[in-house]
Structure 1
Amino acid sequence: MATAVPRLRPVPAPESPTFLTPEQLADLFTVPLETVYQWRRKRTGPPGFRVGRHLRYDLAAVLAWVAQQTENTGAA
């Protein structure tokens, strides 16, 4: 007599993170691409990271940076 194996519910995969290129970040904020690179050089913009020689921005970190900017300026 075979024993029944309980069925496990599938675990939903966590949402995959979204990473933006510098061009996509510039489009998101409608600023020139050079502005994105200046933010990085001056360390005033959202945090970016390198994947090999490619620069990427985590969308969640970008949105957190925007929230921080609006808190600091008192804007709504």
Structure 2
Amino acid sequence: MITRKLMTVDDVADYLNKPKGWVYGNWKAEQIPFRKVGQSLRCRPTDLDRWLDEQGAE
């Protein structure tokens, strides 16, 4: 069985050392690559790292 961990908003906030409000704001602005899973937001660690790399290139 393959298990992939999806990050929650709390996980992303901790990882980025940012408040949850900042994370939600960037999701609403379609910046952070979250996906809706039911009523929850989830992000793949690889997608978040790719997004971070792209932010550094700007």
Q: TM-score range by the shorter chain?
A: 0.7 to 0.9
- Structure 1's consecutive aligned runs of 4 or more residues displaced over 3 angstroms after TM superposition are none
Bigger strand share: 1
Secondary structure of 1:55's match? strand
Give the number of the structure whose alpha-carbon radius of gyration is greater: 1
Cα RMSD, aligned residues only:
1.4
CA-CA distance at 1:59 after TM superposition: 0.5
Q: Which runs of 5+ in 1 are unaligned?
A: 1-12
Residues 4-63 of structure 1, C-alpha deviations (whole Å, 9 max, x = no match): xxxxxxxxx76x43310000100001110000100011112x210011111101100000
- Structure scoring higher RCO (CA < 8 A, sep ≥ 6) equals 2
